[in-house]
Chain A
Amino acid sequence: MYTIKNIYFRDLLTDLHKKRVIVILFIIVSTLVFAFLGYQKVGVQTALSEEQQEEIDAYNKRLEEYDKAIADASEGVKLSEEQVLSLQEYVDNSIYMKLDSQNIQVASIQYGIVTEGNVGNIYNALAYYINEGGLKEALDDENLSLDIKYWREIIFPSLSGNVMNITIYHYDAEQAQKVMDILKERLLAQIPSIAEVHGGFSLQETDAANYVKADVNVANTQNGNLNNLKNYITSRSDYNNRVISQENGKKSYIESSTPEVLEPAAPNGIIIVIKYMIAGILFGIVIPCVYFILSYILGNRILSKDGLKEYNLAIIGQCSSKGHYHPELDRTIMDLKLLTEQNGWNSVFLNVLNTNESIKKVVSEYKEALAKTNISSSEGCQLENSAEELRQLVEIKNCILFIQISKTTYPQLEEQINLCKKFGVAILGCVVVR
């Protein structure tokens, strides 16, 4: 068994209108529920989820690693820069680095140390004076160009027996001699101080010479310094590259891996709540519509006169809930009168499919109206159970079906139609009552 019907959306609108109070209430409740959910979400969005926090922590940690690497590399750059500058300055300005290892201008002097004390101590004192001591005191303006700060590595004292030899290397013979002269002067001036400590002594110049020599050690030392400079420059370059590489790496990482949410957003709470409320309104509208349409599909009640179309039943009259007939009752009765006269019937059976007050009222009005046109009528509502009613129906040979919207079911209608077919009873039409 199945029911055949179409769903008419105007029935949906009618039902929505009929039950508008409940529907509106439902929409309001749904909107409020969603507004509350939206409000909750605003609260949740101000705090990050565990996953988000982990993602951010990992991201920040990685950035810190990048920053540390960049800082270390920058520190390396700075250090190597200082080394480069320092060494470069030395390479550019020191007397030793300017020496031509194959053409060194040498000024040398030998002193005999005459003393009754310890020659070694006296020599040491003199050597310390030359290397570490007052020999490095500033020169007068006239001799500034001699660059006294670089003398340490061009003056070589040595002792053999009681002979002290002092050799000065320079690239300029004249300057070598000048340095020698200043050294002699200061050395001799230092004798009394040394003598106080180590006992009296004298320095007797035994020989002095100026000559040119070649010294491979100078070349080696110079090359060593130059290599160091080169290494420092390379190191500086490496550190620079490392800084650039780390900075680029950091930039790429930021571009590719920045989390969507870096910090708890300060969401626009009102907009979120409004969006949720709109969703709530949608739910509030859709759910009742779904409910009503489901009731049409699953239900078997006749919802409107349109639902009778498939049965090809003539709708001879309609009565609204306020008791208005369409067409007018007189017009319908006229139709019935003509039909009965045409077929030779003098009676009509009013087949009532529901028993309630509104349909009973309509039936009684039809009975009265029919009586006025001298057409008798019988009424029945229990044809499936009442033998007497069935007998009347069969005798009269015609009927009008009285159907009530939302009360009469399709199975009821089909049962009556089948019954009429079975006994050859003509269905003149139906009256639809709201």
Chain B
Amino acid sequence: MEKLQKWYETWLSDYHNGELLFFIGFIIYLGRNTWITTTFPFPNIINKLCLLLPLLLIVLKIFFFDSYRVKPLLILCLSMIVSLMIYCSSGYLNVLFWLLLVLGSKDISFKKILEIYLLITGSIVLLAFCSSLLGVIENYQYVTTSRGIRNSFGITYTTDFASHIFFLILAFFYLMGENLKFYHYMGTLIIAALIYHFCNARLDSCSIVLIVIVFSLGNWIEYSKYSGKNFRKLWKNNWTKKGIYIMLLLAVVSVVVTNLYRPENKLLSELNTLFSSRLYQGQKGIKEYGYKLFGQYVELVGGGGSESHAKFPSNYFFVDCSYIYVMLRYGVLFTVFVVTSYMAACHKNRHDLYFLYTIALIAVNCTIAHHLLEFEYNPFALSLLSISVRNNKSDSDILTNLIQT
């Protein structure tokens, strides 16, 4: 018994064990969520196990290794209560899992989280891609008269495949930061062109091009001898002070424009066509379901999957805009909470321009895609409580100071 006690104390004293608990849970959850976006088969029993196990591991990590002061603890308890109320109101457990993972990522290296995300999601998407080309799994091809053949390459829908590529590239660019080179930009532009050609995911292709533009411009301004000092300062100040609010701005604009949409209004009508009826679908959702504080069950019929691939559903109804999607399903309260969380993460990382670029790009992408809360696409919500990739001082500088005698 004494031995067990000693072992327990030793185990608790090493924070690395807490990290391991979180990462094992995160890997299983991420792997499972990414796997179900593919056309690989997935037995139901393993599906359930891959939800229960991460839940257990992350809860263990929170209980045994995390500590909170009073105020954050109250916020934590309140958010858990809200998530349970959302579950009662809508039947969705997604909020609970989202919150648990965010809380579980406290004091975990965000760099490691992103590396694991790139590894797990990247591997599964790569395997799905290759397997679909080999015919081992389905490559759903959606044939449209106006847009030709759209491939999904082993993922359930073409835009989901494109979204995976977008977020993987974004995570990679964020980690690389100032180490991005010309060939990274060129390679990404080629990928964007290929996505457009084979998947015809126009908006996602544009988002990928936007990554190149923002990061290359940012690096050029920061490091090029041709960019003026004043301009550099202006760029940095603007991003540091205003970059935090980009997601809030886009969320508000999305909701307002969706509400104001009228087919008779030429501008909004053109915008709706440009965004493939997203305004119309969003407004339809708002009219049918309305705003609820704690969300509701919203039945969405998308264009992906085996049945839709054979024949596009006649009752198609899908809200692609993340802000409207989250608001309808999980409620106004939770939407405000999510946007606030991202703003808090931006404030925390306000000196990391790459982080601000990343969140801005996610905010833009979320106006056309519904992946804001899905970790298999967007792991950046985990930056809120985790250890930043870049601080005011670099981590190596801190250690260098320790060594000097």
Selected from B119, B120, B126, B135, the residue in CB contact (under 8 A) with A275 is B135
Q: Is B119 in contact with A279, judged by CB distance below 8 angstroms?
A: no
Q: Is B403 in contact with A2, judged by CB distance below 8 angstroms?
A: no
Q: Is B109 in contact with A279, judged by CB distance below 8 angstroms?
A: no
Q: Is B405 in contact with A312, judged by CB distance below 8 angstroms?
A: no
* Residue in chain B with minimal CB distance to A312: B400
Check: B301 CB closer than 8 A to any chain A CB.
no
Selected from A279, A421, A425, the residue in CB contact (under 8 A) with B131 is A279
Residues on B with C-beta less than 8 A from A414 are 399
Residues on A with C-beta less than 8 A from B402 are 417-418, 421
Residues on A with C-beta less than 8 A from B399 are 4, 310-312, 414, 417
* Residue in chain B with minimal CB distance to A282: B130
Residues on A with C-beta less than 8 A from B396 are 4, 310-312
Q: Is B135 in contact with A272, judged by CB distance below 8 angstroms?
A: yes
Q: Is A4 in contact with B123, judged by CB distance below 8 angstroms?
A: no
Selected from B109, B119, B127, B400, the residue in CB contact (under 8 A) with A2 is B109
* Residue in chain B with minimal CB distance to A271: B135
Given known A-B contacts A2-B387, A297-B119, A411 and B136 have beta carbons under 8 A apart: no
A1-25 to B contact mask, C-beta < 8 Å, 1/0? 1111001000000000000000000
Question: Closest CB-CB distance, A128 to chain B, in whole Å?
Answer: 73
Given known A-B contacts A312-B400, A313-B403, A279 and B126 have beta carbons under 8 A apart: no
A312-352 to B contact mask, C-beta < 8 Å, 1/0? 11000000000000000000000000000000000000000
Check: B23 CB closer than 8 A to any chain A CB.
yes
Q: Is B19 in contact with A298, judged by CB distance below 8 angstroms?
A: yes
Selected from A289, A297, A311, A313, the residue in CB contact (under 8 A) with B116 is A297
Q: Is A279 in contact with B20, judged by CB distance below 8 angstroms?
A: no
Could you tell me the distance between the alpha carbons of A414 and B15 in the complex, rounded to whole angstroms? Answer: 15
Q: Is A290 in contact with B405, judged by CB distance below 8 angstroms?
A: no
Check: B66 CB closer than 8 A to any chain A CB.
no
Q: Is A282 in contact with B395, judged by CB distance below 8 angstroms?
A: no
Q: Is A297 in contact with B115, judged by CB distance below 8 angstroms?
A: yes
Could you tell me the distance between the alpha carbons of A426 and B404 in the complex, rounded to whole angstroms? Answer: 8
Residues on A with C-beta less than 8 A from B115 are 7, 297
Check: A300 CB closer than 8 A to any chain B CB.
yes
Q: Is B126 in contact with A286, judged by CB distance below 8 angstroms?
A: yes
Q: Is A286 in contact with B123, judged by CB distance below 8 angstroms?
A: yes
Q: Is B134 in contact with A275, judged by CB distance below 8 angstroms?
A: yes
Question: Closest CB-CB distance, A329 to chain B, in whole Å?
Answer: 25
B124-156 to A contact mask, C-beta < 8 Å, 1/0? 001100110011100000000000000000000
Main secondary structure of the interface of A (DSSP, over half): helix
Question: Closest CB-CB distance, B138 to chain A, in whole Å?
Answer: 12
- Find residues 361-405 in chain B having any chain A CB closer than 8 Å to their own CB: 387, 395-396, 399-400, 402-403, 405
Residues on A with C-beta less than 8 A from B136 are 34, 37-38, 275-276, 279
Q: How many residues of B are counted as interface, with CB atoms below 8 angstroms from the partner's CB atoms?
A: 28
Could you tell me the distance between the alpha carbons of A289 and B119 in the complex, rounded to whole angstroms? Answer: 9
Check: B250 CB closer than 8 A to any chain A CB.
no
Question: Closest CB-CB distance, A293 to chain B, in whole Å?
Answer: 5
How many contacts between A and B, using CB within 8 angstroms? 79
Check: B181 CB closer than 8 A to any chain A CB.
no
Residues on B with C-beta less than 8 A from A417 are 399, 402-403
Question: Closest CB-CB distance, B66 to chain A, in whole Å?
Answer: 14
Q: Is B134 in contact with A279, judged by CB distance below 8 angstroms?
A: yes
B33-56 to A contact mask, C-beta < 8 Å, 1/0? 000000000000000000000000
Check: A189 CB closer than 8 A to any chain B CB.
no
Q: Is A279 in contact with B130, judged by CB distance below 8 angstroms?
A: yes
Q: Is A424 in contact with B123, judged by CB distance below 8 angstroms?
A: no
Could you tell me the distance between the alpha carbons of A300 and B158 in the complex, rounded to whole angstroms? Answer: 39
Question: Closest CB-CB distance, B191 to chain A, in whole Å?
Answer: 19
Residues on B with C-beta less than 8 A from A1 are 15-16
Check: A427 CB closer than 8 A to any chain B CB.
yes
Q: Is A290 in contact with B120, judged by CB distance below 8 angstroms?
A: yes
Q: How many residues of A are counted as interface, with CB atoms below 8 angstroms from the partner's CB atoms?
A: 37
Q: Is A312 in contact with B403, judged by CB distance below 8 angstroms?
A: yes
Residues on B with C-beta less than 8 A from A298 are 19-20, 23, 112, 116
Check: A144 CB closer than 8 A to any chain B CB.
no
Could you tell me the distance between the alpha carbons of A414 and B16 in the complex, rounded to whole angstroms? Answer: 14
Check: B80 CB closer than 8 A to any chain A CB.
no
Residues on B with C-beta less than 8 A from A420 are 403, 405
Check: A26 CB closer than 8 A to any chain B CB.
no
Could you tell me the distance between the alpha carbons of A286 and B31 in the complex, rounded to whole angstroms? Answer: 14
* Residue in chain B with minimal CB distance to A277: B134
Could you tell me the distance between the alpha carbons of A300 and B23 in the complex, rounded to whole angstroms? Answer: 14
* Residue in chain A with minimal CB distance to B398: A4
- Find residues 1-36 in chain B having any chain A CB closer than 8 Å to their own CB: 15-16, 19-20, 23, 27
Could you tell me the distance between the alpha carbons of A297 and B113 in the complex, rounded to whole angstroms? Answer: 9
Question: Closest CB-CB distance, A44 to chain B, in whole Å?
Answer: 13
Check: A201 CB closer than 8 A to any chain B CB.
no
Question: Closest CB-CB distance, A41 to chain B, in whole Å?
Answer: 8
Selected from A34, A38, A294, A425, the residue in CB contact (under 8 A) with B119 is A294
* Residue in chain A with minimal CB distance to B386: A2
- Find residues 84-136 in chain A having any chain B CB closer than 8 Å to their own CB: none
Residues on A with C-beta less than 8 A from B403 are 311-313, 417, 420-421, 427
- Find residues 403-421 in chain A having any chain B CB closer than 8 Å to their own CB: 411, 414, 417-418, 420-421
Given known A-B contacts A311-B403, A418-B402, A427-B403, A300 and B120 have beta carbons under 8 A apart: no
- Find residues 92-135 in chain B having any chain A CB closer than 8 Å to their own CB: 109, 112, 115-116, 119-120, 123, 126-127, 130-131, 134-135
- Find residues 162-217 in chain B having any chain A CB closer than 8 Å to their own CB: none
Supply 24 A–B pairs (Cβ within 8 Å), ascending by A.
Answer: A2-B395, A4-B396, A38-B136, A272-B135, A275-B134, A275-B135, A276-B134, A279-B131, A279-B134, A283-B127, A286-B127, A290-B120, A294-B119, A297-B115, A298-B20, A311-B399, A311-B400, A311-B403, A312-B400, A414-B399, A417-B402, A417-B403, A421-B402, A427-B403
The 6 A-B residue pairs with the shortest CB-CB distance, nearest first, are: A275-B134, A310-B396, A279-B136, A4-B395, A426-B405, A2-B109
Known: A290-B119, A421-B405. 15 other contacts (CB 8 A): A2-B109, A3-B109, A4-B395, A4-B399, A272-B135, A282-B127, A283-B127, A286-B126, A290-B120, A290-B123, A297-B116, A311-B399, A312-B400, A312-B403, A421-B403
